[in-house]
Amino acid sequence: MLKQITVTVNGVQHTLEVEPRLLLVHMIREVLNLTGTHIGCDTSSCGACTILLDGKSIKSCTVLAVQANGKSITTIEGVAQNGELSPLQEGFKENHGLHCGFCTPGMILRATELLANNPNPTEEEIRWGIAGNLCRCTGYNNIVKAIQYAGAKMRGDELPSTEPEFV
Amino acid sequence: MIQCKTSKEIGGMGHSLKRKEDIRFIQGKGHYVDDVKLPGMLYMDIVRSPYAYAKIKKINIEEAMKVPGVVAVVTGKDLEKYNLHWMPTLMSDTQMVLPTDTVMYQAQEVAAVIATSKYAARDGREAVKVEYEPMKPVIDPFKSLDPGAPVLRSDKEGKKDNHIWHWEVGDKNKTDDVFAKAEVVVKEQMHIPRIHVASIETCGCVADYDKVNNHLTMYMTTQAPHAIRTVIALVAGHVGLTEEKIRVISPDIGGGFGGKVPVYPGYVIAIAVSFLVGKPVKWIEDRSENLQADSFARDYHITAEMAGTKDGKILATRFKILADHGYTDASANPSKFPTGMFSVATGSYDYDTTYMECDAVYTNKPPGGVAYRCSFRVTEAVHAIERITDRYALEIGKDPAELRLQNFIKKEDFPWKSPTGWIYDSGDYHKGLLKAMDTVNYHQLRAEQAEKRKRGELMGIGISTFTEIVGAGPSKDFDILGIKMFDSAEIRVHPTGKAIARFGTKSQGQGHETTYAQIIAEELGIPAENIQIEEGDTDTAPYGLGTYASRSTPTAGAAAAVAARKLRDKARKIAAYLLEVSEDDLEWEPGKFFVKGAPEKSKTIQEIVFASYTNHPPGMEAGFEATHYYDPPNLTFPSGAYICVVDIDKETGAIHVRRFVAIDDCGNIINPMIVQGQVHGGLTQGIAPAMYEELIYDEAGNILNGTFMDYLVPTAVESPKWETGHTVTPSPHHPIGAKGVGESPTVGAPPAIANAIVDALSPYGITHLDIPITPFKVWKALKEKGVV
Ligand code: FES
Ligand code: FES
């Protein structure tokens, strides 16, 4: 029993026939071939699958594709505009906020909403703000720096140093 | 600050170059195994055992075969026809691919369902009915050797118990003698519990067997693609899959940490199925399967003892280990080292007497042991020595920092031969610890602690001053399945002076694409930006042993420098020819040769390379490329001095890590930004086992926390803000003086944290707590002492 849905993904409208049980993350990865969104768990814990659904960060492994009917989705592939990196993408690169890169798409999308709601977060607010996203490689310090860097860039403040504080 | 010889444009050693690989990862353009999609690809899901130990009476696949989309169900009996139902392990044991009659641990693979979609495969898996006859499992390793214990490996001829092997090193009589006469002897029983790497990407593969060409392409999450190709050939050569017909591709890997070294049954089943049905087969495990069935880490029960004088001179150590290996010995060690490098457990201290022994046993748990940034059991070794050193300091009432400074091997005594025979290459331990103490303001902290103790408040300071041993290894001692543990680099410079270089290692996020380019940039003066680095494709990259145990920089990093130096020698010849001077008249500076005393007469590396294709000297081979397979003369011995400060809430046992200072010494640094990133990540993987993570089994062998709901990987909230720094003591034998570092923080951090917590609790007579030290454990210990 397939259901027809219409979703806008990174600005492009798609009309798809999907099984009601199809998870949104699988629709994104398997049906639309947008493989930047990752799967890191089976209990909604890791956040590697985080995307924006109508501007809100959600774990796409925990939403059915049919629930996205009529909604608008942003995945990591839709973050850069006209080939220009978003402040967060730039922040992650400049501050070494990624190693293996597996959590990175989810982190960036989660942080996109975080900064939209709170343009100048404290370190503690950032850490709590990304507590739904696990990273096994970076130890988070540089992710915090990356988000601070992006916040500064978006506010038009002076950019913080990206030199490692390696005494 | 680190001095750089090359300009920023060249970006050689010491520059915090931003990473080349980031540009694809931050845009979702990485290429991981589950991103692979091939025409006609089938999906595999695995039926797993609900029991830790059971006879399989019957596997009924009828219903499963009726599920729409299911094309096949494969059992052990099917694989048995091709003799693929068992496979060898790296430790010369045997491991089931699929069982024919008995399951040995919960979540073990029992059958595989192949279908046209992921969802159909999962439906098929639910429809497979297996009848079991459960048996009483062996879970507690201490009971594994009881006379009444069932013999788990009755498949092995003549096996009458669950003992795997006994290992020992050192001088038993001398050690016993020193202990018998020593003024002070301390002893603690410690468990380094079973944990799991839990890289955010799980394991998986796409096996693509092409019947027409009799050729297998295997995309897989592997840290050692070349070794895997050889293993596949050894396991499946008899069905025609010989080594030249196998191409292993390890694409972008979402973290490895040792969990992606072993060959898991899922890979072998996928290959077998693809071979049988002639179509690509994808297998991607989910998180629960990853935690419950893939290679675990640690699980050493250690009795640690130290003998010394009353005023703090360490005289001897003694370690007795019981190692729980699960149902087969599949730990990923060099073949002559069943306990890995545990014998480095004498640590950073200058004494000459030790004895260590280990017995390994089978239990009804998944196999593994060596993983999770352990450098082949160095995590266990360092935990043992650093905890028992603190215990000794506590016993004689000496400050643990002072005790360490008193016993350190001195800078001038390197190279230093350890009591178990390792030749430590270099070190300056005093400098490292003094820097860490200075950074954290140690003496002031001790004063603060004394004040707080008067008020009954719990504050602890923990130190860990460790010596790592990485970069396996010299061919006379180190091999995996007989293959010597060299590694390799192949550099080819194009006519326009840009290069491609390939390596036998395989990054899983450590930044090789950037740092290897920096090594070549340093040696040849070609900008790192113009050097394309590749790893992971066995058809194109030179043979190497892979990336684990922090061996990439020591081995392939060295190979890169040596290969580049071969090219520099060639460049010198070409420059002499072009400038019409003798080679001896030339001087090198990064990027060009110039005539001594006449610097205006010079040839850039780009001009020289161009000439190698357009105008090469008569008699010389054209082109500009070199290869090197590097057999390291020794391992590298990075070290570190870590200090952790904790505050503990007496009422709840909650532990707050107030500060953590990590000073690492990995010799010359290729990229400080990347080293620091490795240290941050490694420290977080140090706090994880110290405070949060443990795989827990009940008596029936059920895993009690086999998902991310309760296997507690630290989030950004639990992870402290790390303070990192370095000292530089180059490795004298390494071509660029660099040592490995990736695992140092995970090796060094847990005892610093445990020492801090025990230090906080020590006024109440608490001398040891096993990791993970949770609030409940602290609260319980305080409760037992009547403190709360
Ligand atoms: S895949 Fe882990 S939360 Fe979605
Ligand atoms: S960068 Fe590897 S999991 Fe975050």
Please, is B58 exposed, middle or buried when counting C-beta atoms within 10 Å of its C-beta (0-12, 13-18, 19+)?
exposed
B349 Cα–ligand 2 center, Å: 35
Contact B186, B391 (CB under 8 A): yes
Q: Give the ligand 1 atom nearest the CA of A61.
A: 4
DSSP secondary structure letter of residue B91: T
Q: What is the token pair recorded at B169?
A: 């090193």
Which residues in chain B have Cβ-Cβ distances shorter than 8 Å to A128? Answer: 716-717
For ligand 1, is residue A134 a contact (CB within 6 Å)?
Answer: no
Please, is B651 exposed, middle or buried when counting C-beta atoms within 10 Å of its C-beta (0-12, 13-18, 19+)?
exposed
B297 confidence band (pLDDT: 50, 70, 90) = very high
Q: What is the token pair recorded at B463?
A: 């130190």
pLDDT tens-digit profile of B481-496? Answer: 899 999 999 999 999 9
Cα(B619)–Cα(B587) distance, integer angstroms? 23
Give me the mean pLDDT over the B217-233 stretch. 97
Give A38 to chain B, closest Cα distance, Å: 8
> What's the predicted TM-score (pTM) here?
0.97
Q: What is the token pair recorded at A158?
A: 């002076």
Q: Which of B28, B286, B509 sits opposite A99 (nearest CB)?
A: B509
| Any B CB within 8 A of A149 CB | no
Contact A80, A89 (CB under 8 A): yes
Give me the mean pLDDT over the B612-628 stretch. 97
Which residues in chain A have Cβ-Cβ distances shorter than 8 Å to B707? Answer: 41-43, 45
Cα(A113)–Cα(A106) distance, integer angstroms? 11
Provide, rounded to the nearest whole percent, the portion of chain B with pLDDT above 70: 100
Contact A70, A62 (CB under 8 A): no
Q: Do B200 and A134 touch (CB under 8 A)?
A: yes
Strand order of the β-sheet with B314-324 is B163-170, B353-361, B314-324, B300-308, B184-192
Cα(B344)–Cα(B56) distance, integer angstroms? 43
Q: Which of B23, B678, B708 sits opposite A45 (nearest CB)?
A: B708
A135 Cα–ligand 1 center, Å: 12
Assess whether B223 carries a catalytic annotation.
yes
Before A119, cis peptide (omega within 30)?
A: no
At B218, which helix (H) or strand (E)? strand B215-220
Torsion angle of alpha carbons B122, B124, B125, B127, nearest 10°? 130
Count Cα neighbours of B426 within 13 Å in the Cβ-side half-sphere: 16
Cα(A156)–Cα(A158) distance, integer angstroms? 7
Q: Give the ligand 1 atom nearest the CA of A50.
A: 4
Which residues in chain A have Cβ-Cβ distances shorter than 8 Å to B286? Answer: 39, 41-42
Cα(B347)–Cα(B416) distance, integer angstroms? 12
For ligand 2, is residue A103 a contact (CB within 6 Å)?
Answer: yes
Cα(A118)–Cα(B152) distance, integer angstroms? 58
Cα(B122)–Cα(B144) distance, integer angstroms? 36
Q: Give the ligand 1 atom nearest the CA of A49.
A: 4
B99 Cα–ligand 1 center, Å: 31
Contact B349, B314 (CB under 8 A): yes
Give me the mean pLDDT over the B165-185 stretch. 98
Q: Do B677 and A38 touch (CB under 8 A)?
A: no
Q: Which residue of A has its CA nearest to B510?
A: A99
Q: Do A100 and B509 touch (CB under 8 A)?
A: yes
Q: What is the pLDDT of residue B3?
A: 86
Q: Which of B16, B34, B198 sits opposite A136 (nearest CB)?
A: B198
Q: Which residue of B has its CA nearest to A139?
A: B681
What are the contacts of B414-418 at 24+ separation with CB within 8 A? B415/B732, B416/B350, B418/B344, B418/B346
Q: Which residue of B has its CA nearest to A166?
A: B725
Q: Do A131 and B717 touch (CB under 8 A)?
A: yes
Q: Do B25 and A123 touch (CB under 8 A)?
A: no
pLDDT tens-digit profile of B33-55? Answer: 999 999 999 999 999 999 999 99
For ligand 1, is residue A44 a contact (CB within 6 Å)?
Answer: yes
Give start and end residues of each alpha helix (H) in B429-539.
429-440, 442-454, 512-524
Strand partners, B664: B640, B726
Catalytic residue among B203, B205, B374, B666: B374
Give me the mean pLDDT over the B675-687 stretch. 98
Among protein residues, the one with the nearest Cα to ligand 2's atom 2 is A100
Q: Do A136 and B685 touch (CB under 8 A)?
A: yes
Among protein residues, the one with the nearest Cα to ligand 2's atom 4 is A135
Strand partners, B186: B306
Q: What is the pLDDT of residue B2?
A: 79
Assess whether B743 carries a catalytic annotation.
yes
pLDDT tens-digit profile of B113-160? Answer: 999 999 999 999 999 999 999 999 999 999 999 999 999 999 999 999
Q: Which of B252, B256, B680 sits opposite A141 (nearest CB)?
A: B680
Which residues in chain A have Cβ-Cβ distances shorter than 8 Å to B26? Answer: 76, 85, 89, 92-93, 98, 101, 104-105, 108
The pLDDT mean for chain B works out to 97
User: Which of A102, A123, A162 to probe by mutation at the B interface, max B CB count within 10 Å?
Assistant: A102
B101 confidence band (pLDDT: 50, 70, 90) = very high
Q: What is the pLDDT of residue A114?
A: 98
Which residues 6+ apart lie within 8 Å of A7 measured at CB?
A: A13, A14, A16, A65, A68, A69, A70, A71, A72, A73
Q: Do B200 and A40 touch (CB under 8 A)?
A: yes
Cα(B330)–Cα(B611) distance, integer angstroms? 52
Q: Give the ligand 2 atom nearest the CA of A136.
A: 3
Please, is B154 exposed, middle or buried when counting C-beta atoms within 10 Å of its C-beta (0-12, 13-18, 19+)?
exposed
Cα(B286)–Cα(B384) distance, integer angstroms? 34
- Inter-helix orientation angle B744-761/B378-396, to 10°: 30
Assess whether B723 carries a catalytic annotation.
no
Tell me how far CA of residue B734 lies from CA of B433, B533, B561, B677, in angstroms: 24, 21, 10, 23
Strand partners, B114: B44, B72
| Any B CB within 8 A of A37 CB | yes
Contact B422, B354 (CB under 8 A): no
Q: What is the pLDDT of residue B578?
A: 98
User: Which of B1, B21, B715 to probe by mutation at the A interface, max A CB count within 10 Å?
Assistant: B715
Q: What is the pLDDT of residue B164?
A: 98
Count Cα neighbours of B371 within 13 Å in the Cβ-side half-sphere: 28
Which residues in chain B have Cβ-Cβ distances shorter than 8 Å to A76? Answer: 26-28
Contact A46, B200 (CB under 8 A): yes
- Give the Cβ contact number of residue B336 at 10 Å: 10
B1 confidence band (pLDDT: 50, 70, 90) = low
Cα(B137)–Cα(B143) distance, integer angstroms? 11
Provide, rounded to the nearest whole percent, the portion of chain B with pLDDT above 90: 98
Which residues 6+ apart lie within 8 Å of B527 measured at CB?
A: B9, B10, B11, B521
For ligand 2, is residue B200 a contact (CB within 6 Å)?
Answer: yes
Give me the mean pLDDT over the A28-50 stretch. 98
Q: Do B708 and A36 touch (CB under 8 A)?
A: no
Is the model's pLDDT at A167 over the cut of 90? no
Assess whether B373 carries a catalytic annotation.
yes
Cα(B769)–Cα(A62) distance, integer angstroms? 39
| Any B CB within 8 A of A154 CB | no
Before B772, cis peptide (omega within 30)?
A: yes
Cα(B766)–Cα(B763) distance, integer angstroms? 7
For ligand 2, is residue A102 a contact (CB within 6 Å)?
Answer: yes
Q: What backbone torsions phi and psi does residue B636 show, to the nearest 5 degrees?
A: -105, 150
Contact B593, B571 (CB under 8 A): yes
| DSSP three-state, residue B135 | coil
A100 Cα–ligand 2 center, Å: 5
Before A129, cis peptide (omega within 30)?
A: no
